[in-house]
Every structure is written in C-alpha cells, then in structure tokens.
Amino acid sequence: MALKKRKKNEINNRRNLIALSNPKSPISEQYRTLRTNIQYSSIDEQIQSFLVTSPGPEEGKSTTAANAAVVFAQQGKKVLLVDADMRKPTIHYTFNKTNVYGLTTVLTRQKALEEAIHETDQKNLYVLTSGPIPPNPAELLGSNMMDQFCKEALDETFDLIIFDTPPLLAVADAQILANKCQGTILVVSSGKTETEQMIKAKGVLDSTHSKLIGIVLNNKEVKGSEINYYYGAQN
C-alpha cells in the first residue's frame, strides 16, 4: 500500500507542471503574468536569482517554483531550478529524476555542478535536486560554498536560478537563503494561510537582505469560471 501511495504522489506531482503540459491554459497564462511581474519588479538590475517559499507547508510553493521555472525557460532564458528544501524535497518527483546526488553533494564538493544537474523536457530548463538529506541543512545553505555555488552558476552557465525552499515559519533555511538571493516570492493558499501567518512571514523576510518581489495567491476559486486555481503576483 505504501508503494502505491508513493507512486500516486509522484504522478500527482508531475501533473502539477501545467505550464509544460498545457502551455495555452489560463493557469499557464497566469504563470506568464507572474514572470512578467518578476521581470518588472526591479528596473535598475536584472533579477538573476530568487527563491520561492510559503509561511507553512502544502501551500503550493514547490508547484509555483517549478512552473515559474518552466515559463522563464520558455522565454529563452537558461534556467536552473534548485531544490533547496533539504528536509522534504519534491523536485525530483516533479521532474521524475533520481535524487542520488544534488545540491548537497555539490556543496560538499563531492560532485561538480555540471555533473549534478539534470536536463528536463523543457528546453533551457535544468534542475538540481536536493541530493541526500544532510544533518545540517541551514549550515550548508549559509556556507561560503553556497555563495560560490551561486556565483559559479550565474557567471558561467545560467541566466536565472530559482530556489524552492522549506516553509519560512517552520525552519530558518529560507530566511538564510533569502540573504543570498535578489528576491523572494511568498506563496499563500486561499482559505488555508492565516492572516497572522502571512504577516509574520513577511516580517521574517523584511529582516533579510532579499526583496519581497510579490505574494502569490494560490488555490483561489474564480467564480463563474471553470478555473479553480489562480496565480498572480502583487508588488
């Protein structure tokens, strides 16, 4: 039974890539709107790195990160999607990749970046899975090796890095990584995320060097339409 449940979860995760499977859908159009809002969030400099997080679990951050990566790649940018959730990684399920090595093995110098990344079905989009779950995720994300990783990836290979991180209020990982990124997208779930949680999460982000690019409202039912989910950004 456990195996069947796992297989079902993997299938469901892959189906969440609507920007790849159905790029003409209204939901995919909202992801492109999100892309545009991110691009216009900074006039003076081009956004080259941002992370996606949420106040709590199961609010849609990983789905948002993956689909955002797809639409940026569809625009022609060379994109690296990094699973920086070293506690409950999901990107390898979403893209049906192995997770034998990944971010942890790169940061601990067991593999070079070019050896650890995976190609995807979307041209220009590459993923770096989390790798083996380490005992010290926060320390790895805050390390000098993480700084070197970001610099190497942007200087030599990629136009944009998108990080999927753990929930902001659960552990310190997202807050630590936010200090190394140009921006942060906060995903909240309609009818689930409490106002107090959202305010507290924004307060945590305000204490970092990262700019809050926008808030994505997820799982918002649109009345009078067949669309059940709405994604938008709010500057």
Mapped onto helix, strand or coil, the DSSP state of residue 174 is: helix
Q: Would residue 225 count as lying in a domain?
A: no
Distance (Å, whole) CA 99 – CA 128: 9
Please provide the DSSP assignment of 30-94 as one string.
HHHHHHHHHHTT-SSS---EEEEE-SSSSSSHHHHHHHHHHHHHHTT--EEEEE--SSS--HHHH
Summarised one tens digit per residue, pLDDT across range 202-218 is 888 888 887 899 889 88
> Above 80 in pLDDT, residue 104?
yes
The total number of structural domains in the chain stands at 1
Q: Would residue 228 count as lying in a domain?
A: no
Q: Residue 40: give its domain's CATH number.
A: 3.40.50.300
Q: Which domain, by its residues, includes 64?
A: 2-218
Summarised one tens digit per residue, pLDDT across range 111-147 is 999 999 999 999 999 999 999 999 999 999 999 999 9
